[in-house]
Structure 1
Amino acid sequence: MDGKKLEYKGEEALKELEKLTENAAQVQEDILIKILTQNRGTEYLRKYLASDEKGLNFDVAQYKRCMPVITYKDICPYIQRIAHGEAPNLLTSQPVSEMLCSSGTSAGEPKLMPSTEEDLDRRTFLYNLIMPIMNQYISGLDEGKAMYLYFVKAETSTPCGLPARTVLTSYYKSQHFKNRSHDPYNDLTSPNAAILCNDSNQSMYCQLLAGLMHRHQVLRLGAVFASAFLRAITFLERNWPKLCCDISTGKLDPMITDPECQAAMDSMLSSPQPHLADEIDRICRRSRSWRGILCRLWPKAKYIEAVVTGSMSQYIPSLEYYSDGKLPLVCTMYASSECYFGVNLKPLCNPSDVSFTLLPNMAYFEFIPINENGTWSIDLNDEEEAPPNKLVDLVHVRIGSYYELVVTTFAGLYRYRIGDVLQVTGFHNQAPQFRFICRRNVVLSIDNDKTNEEDLHKSIIAAKKLLEPFNALLMEYTSYADTSTIPGHYVIFWEIANNSKGMVDKVIPVVDPVVLQECCGVMEQKLDYTYRRCRTLDKSIGPLEIRVVEAGTFELLMDMFINQGASINQYKTPRCIKSKAALKLLNSNVRASYFSPRDPIWNA
């Protein structure tokens, strides 16, 4: 399937969706055969699949029997060789056009995923489905504009010169995105120059300015992630007087120094609009609270689009507050750096009911069965290989069951474990629909960060060494992601005991507050690349906080969970707290609170 065949629009796109899902089993087999045929000469495939004089043996059963199920550490040596410009045909026969930066690894560096031009075509195919699906539920969306706040991140290069950037940055810089002007459903308020500005503050300012200037034409609001949309609201709270001044005078604030942003916004601010500025001023200045502010500033808006599943679900109450519950929260698609997966065919459903229909032409999908309590249905842990013959095909998953997603892609990932846990909720024709449950092992997440228990523990180990000169001992800890303010931040609860003369007692030792602040800083520096980047460059995560609790607090926590039915024999202190009652208990026993005194070095 070449790029041109993937460029379906409108009703044609919906017909193609039906065709693909009605024949999901055959499409999946065809996709696997095509991947293997296309990449038959690669070093990686030849390592595992037998060949004959005609090339590789393309028997699907052999593929499932012989190809291992892998994680990033298994494929990383090949990716590093590609990044350094070694001979082609290591993972894919197609030229690698760029490396996509995924979330950080435990070693602190971002994952790099090879990508090809055809990958971009496939991602565009999925994007082109969104508005035809939405148009089935809300009419007239082509009669106005969308205030979608999109942001790029500065890119780097691999040693051989390949661009290394996030998947969204790749898409926004592509001709697919830039040439969208002919599509009435993709009429954005933001000029391309504002979206493509590497300075997030200037980008945010210009995009909000453009959105306010078109406030009476905006039919849709949104951002990729709920966290980013909420950051924009708090930015607006701080900067609306400046924005009104720009609109009233027709002159751009001097804080905008990016030349392309200046040119784009100067063109938009071609003449003063004092009446529009007064409207916005009255709404922002006279509002007793900002509850429902979105509906007052953009009165024709019909919904908010953003990812609100998984860790982003923690932001749903805030989004509902700012819209006063009047705007549906729409989550349209399921994707990652490794692969784009599927779409939500019922976009106006309650966020807790969001399910995604996996599109069988995106990749070859398999699934590792998981029990409801998170344990493997097969004999497997997170570090072991999954038995190749125990995986389940796309069309053979069972409704209600839980699985970890495994993909084989055109760009050279073969039976790669994505790490997402999904639950089957139903089928659309032959294609299953999945509810996203979580990322395996992730305990803390505010934005793009995905901190697992192992990384959290390593950061704790490094930080608690600073307590030793004070004869202090860290007895217990737990954590939670505090999203009550924007940006959110990590909160770590510590119970500290006196350890003088080799005896541990419950008297809380006196520790210099500066040292406890430094403990926060050490923890942040030990967390992974993505966390540090979000903290330092993106400013999408606030300073880490340590809350020191009274002696015996964690015993009270254990008593509470046991009284709720936990087994005293199997009780372990949860390393991340989700329970509101548990958080109330911990916070009621906080003795002192300390914050990281500085940003971590993000590229260390």
Structure 2
Amino acid sequence: METNWYEGGLRLIEEVTTNAEQIQDELLSEILTRNAGTEYLRRFLHGQTDKQLFKKNVPVVTYEDLKPYIDRIANGERSDVLLAEPITGFLMRHEHVAFVCLQIFSGTSGGQPKLTPDIAEVANKWQLFRTLYESPVMKHFGDINQGDKRMEFLFARPEIETPSGLTATSVSTSVYKKSGFKAMLRKFHTSPVEAIFCPEPEQSLYCQLLFGLIQRDEVILVGSAFASTVLRAIKFLENHWQELCSDIKAGLISHRITDSGCRSAASLIMKPNPQLADMIQNICKSKSWEGIIRKLWPKANYVRCVCTGVMSHYTEELEFYCRGLPLVSAAYASSEAQYGINLNPLCKPADASYTFLPNMAYFEFLPVKNDHDESIEMRSNDNEDTESVDLVNVKPGHRYELLVTTSTGLYRYKVGDVLMVTGFHNNAPQFQFVERQNVAISVDQEKTSEADLFKAVTEAKALLDPLGFVLTEYTSYADTSSAPGHYVLFWELKQKEGNHCKELDPKIMVECCYRLEESLHYTYKIYRKKNIIAPLEIRVVKQGTFDALMDHYVSKGASLSQYKRPSCIKSKEALKILDSRVMGKFFSPKSPL
């Protein structure tokens, strides 16, 4: 008999990573055998299921290539135009958010949601994946399912109905609706289901914080899908802790909460507790909020959220609030498939690698040129003629774009993520997330990737550290309203101590602009010297601006727990929100060397 439930998960990880090649071949054979008769695959394979024929004849595709087939199913045609299995609905991902079920999401920028077919098998695979990604965490921190509580900020979104009568929902909402999750929620989470399904995000967040504070002595895990969501919760707490303390003292929930489900759930747990309210108040009224997570939830062992990729920008600020608590990025997945798990959850966020699980999907990898010193135009972005590499044949140090084939009708599908191989566990490769493919800012022929921009911002913001400022959020915008166009960076700053930002030194901000340009890639600097691109601009915005931006996207259908701020702004409405809150504008004084 197992002494701990996760020991079986650890053994399964060893088994599947050892037999990675065999499992991948068997999985692809199963997918092709099951779906060989579909309209889509018949076009390329004519009923055959040979692996080499599949890789030779079936094209590498994006969502736009599959969208006509998915639309036909959504409009009432049989699912066998794309997949043999009867579908139960659709999984939905908005283009401007990122997703990783309960841990890592990968996302893009844009507006309309993507729909991917959902079948009964998907729920079972998510359940298995959860067991596997939690097993290494439990190995280090102990079983959290032993009467302790998780304070995770979870937010469901309403379903939409397609013309066929089938529903479309986000993956997270689909997970939250399952009876098994609801049963676990009641036992092991501080947030009641009524708060998670509350249609008003601000009311939901208020209630989840309230319930987490009331049960503070039971909480051993704090987290959400993304680091940005945890920070949003802490900033919300900074603004509303007095009202929350008042509720706890009186044993009554604030009149601001109008949702009947939240009020009903609160009535079952709340009772007057002046002692607890005073204790929380004494903690929150401190001048510095350094280590506030540890102070408010003293038994918390770690903070679990995505801190890799674009989310690595939030690491410094989050470490300030959770001083000493490990930041754990446990897994890498998306609405299309589950990918890998972090076998070393105690590593620094910047060092996190994900071991791919060969039983989750069939994986292929398109090589991507790994040279950031050369012209961006020389990088291989068009991989159509590049031969794909199997999971077990990738090479350490090389970068690849991820392709997946799944039982849900995705065949050689470009996820859009660029990954770098960091090593192997047994025969399964380990990857670090590098960037989203083709997520870039550009004003001419140059292309600046998400990773390029992050690197440059990291270099520039270091100039603010000695002054006591923290860059809490940033995004970019290609201003082509005049010629030549130029890069605009929106920065939201705050002081390390206190909530209000003191006056900025214009000389330092101008130097930040120059440092940014100096840290960008070769092509950008050449274009700047030739005046093909005008001087870079930083626009400093008021505190709370990026919260307003998040609220805007949430109002358009994004889930608060799945939101990832866009690296480059293309929406006129979003740009208007940012520009209306600009406090100062600064320009690079000269061309970079």
Query: What is the TM-score normalised by the length of structure 1?
Result: 0.74
Q: Alignment partner for residue 397 of structure 1, among 394, 397, 413?
A: 394
Match of 1:265 in 2: 266
| In the alignment, structure 1 residue 364 sits paired with structure 2 residue 362 | yes
The 5 Å alignment of 1:246-395 reads 246-269=247-270, 271-285=271-285, 287-324=286-323, 326-373=324-371, 382=381, 384=382, 386-387=384-385, 390-395=387-392
* Deviation at residue 554 of structure 1 after TM alignment: 5.2
Secondary structure of the residue that 2:253 maps to in structure 1? coil
Closer, same or farther: CA 160–547 of 1 in aligned 2, 3 Å: farther
TM-superposed deviation, 1:200: 0.7
* Aligned equivalent of 1:173, options 168, 171, 177: 177
Q: From the superposition, tell whether residues 368 and 85 of structure 1 become closer, same or farther in structure 2 (CA, over 3 Å).
A: same
Kindly state the Cα deviation for residue 415 of structure 1 after the two structures are TM-superposed.
Answer: 0.2
The amino acid across from 1:289 in the alignment is: S
Deviates more, 1:81-90 or 1:219-228: 81-90
Structure 1 CA distance for aligned equivalents of residues 8 and 44 of structure 2:
40
Which of 426, 429, 454 pairs up with 2:426? Answer: 429
Contact 1:370 1:377 in 2 (8 A): no
8 Å contact from structure 1 (residues 426, 434) kept in 2? yes
For the residue of structure 1 that corresponds to 2:80, the secondary structure is coil
Q: How far off its partner does 1:281 sit?
A: 1.2
Is the 8 Å Cα contact of residues 173 and 196 (structure 1) preserved in structure 2? no
Structure 2 vs 1, CA of residues 136 and 481 (structure 1 numbering), >3 Å: closer, same or farther?
Answer: farther
Q: Which of residues 55, 58, 64 in structure 2 aligns to 1:64?
A: 55
**Amino acid in structure 1 at the alignment position of 2:281:** D
Cα separation, 2, equivalents of 1:418 and 1:481: 28
Task: Answer whether contact 2:185 2:193 (CA < 8 A) is retained.
Answer: no
Structure 1 residues 378 and 79, CA gap change in structure 2 (3 angstroms)? farther
Residue 203 (structure 2) pairs with residue 202 (structure 1): yes
Is 1:155 matched up with 2:189? no
* Counterparts of residues 212-231 of structure 1 (less than 5 Å): 212-231=213-232
What is the Cα deviation at residue 548 of structure 1?
Answer: 8.2
Q: C-alpha displacement at 1:365, in angstroms? A: 0.1
- Measure, in 2, the Cα distance between the counterparts of 1:103 and 1:181: 26
Which structure's CA Rg is the greater one? 1
Q: Is the contact made by 1:370 and 1:376 (CA closer than 8 Å) also made in structure 2?
A: no
Q: Measure how far apart 1:535 and its partner are.
A: 6.9
Q: Which of 123, 130, 137 is 1:120 aligned to?
A: 123
- Corresponding residue for residue 80 of structure 1: 71
Summarize the Cα distance change of 1:106–1:332 in structure 2 as closer, same or farther, 3 Å threshold. closer
Match of 1:191 in 2: 192
Return the offset for 1:89: 0.1
Query: Which residue matches 2:446?
Result: none
Quote the offset at 1:23 in angstroms.
Answer: 0.4
Task: Describe the shift of the 1:379–1:238 C-alpha distance in structure 2 as closer, same or farther (beyond 3 A).
Answer: closer
Give per-residue Cα distances to partners, 1:184-212, cap 9 Å, x unaligned: xx711111111121211111011101100
Cα shift at 1:379: 10
Q: Distance in 2 between matches of 1:292 and 1:377?
A: 41
Q: Distance in 2 between matches of 1:282 and 1:151?
A: 29
Q: Is 2:14 the partner of 1:18?
A: yes
Task: Give the CA deviation at 1:555.
Answer: 6.5
Give me the whole-angstrom Cα distance separating, in 2, the residues matched to 1:13 and 1:63.
Answer: 32
Q: Confirm whether residue 32 of structure 1 aligns to residue 16 of structure 2.
A: no
CA distance in 2, matches of 1:154, 1:460: 35
Q: Given that residues 370 and 402 in structure 1 are in contact (C-alpha distance below 8 angstroms), is that contact kept between their aligned partners in structure 2?
A: yes
Which deviations, in whole Å up to 9, do the C-alpha atoms of 1:456-485 show, x marking residues without a partner? Answer: 999745xx3xxxxxxxx3533213363546
TM-score (norm 2): 0.75
Change (3 A) 1:479 1:534: farther
What is the distance in 2 between the residues matched to 1:232 and 1:406?
Answer: 34
Task: Tell me the amino acid that sits aligned with residue 478 of structure 1.
Answer: Y
Aligned twin of 1:408: 405
Once the two structures are TM-superposed, the CA of residue 126 in structure 1 deviates from its matched residue by 0.9
Q: Secondary structure at the match of 1:229?
A: helix
Q: Matched residues, percent identical?
A: 41
- Matched to 2:181, the amino acid is F
Distance in 2 between residues matched to 1:315 and 1:18, nearest whole Å = 33
Contact 2:369/2:380 (<8 A) preserved: no
- In the alignment, the residues of structure 1 paired with residue 476 and residue 300 of structure 2 have an alpha-carbon distance, to the nearest angstrom, of 44
Query: In the alignment, is the contact (CA less than 8 A) between 1:369 and 1:376 conserved in 2?
Result: no
2:491 paired residue number: 482
Q: CA RMSD in A?
A: 3.4
The farther-off stretch of 313-322 and 125-134 is 125-134
1:551-590 equivalences in 2 (<5 Å):
553=587, 556=590, 558=591, 560=592, 562=593
Q: Which residue of 1 aligns with 2:553?
A: 533
Aligned residues: 485
| SS of structure 1 residue aligned to 2:216 | coil
Secondary structure of 1:264 counterpart: helix
Query: Which of 139, 142, 153 is residue 139 of structure 1 equivalent to?
Result: 142
Change (3 A) 1:216 1:16: same
The 3-state SS of whatever aligns with 1:475 is: coil
> Which runs of no fewer than 5 residues in structure 2 stay unpaired?
96-107, 442-448, 453-474, 500-512, 514-530, 536-540, 566-573
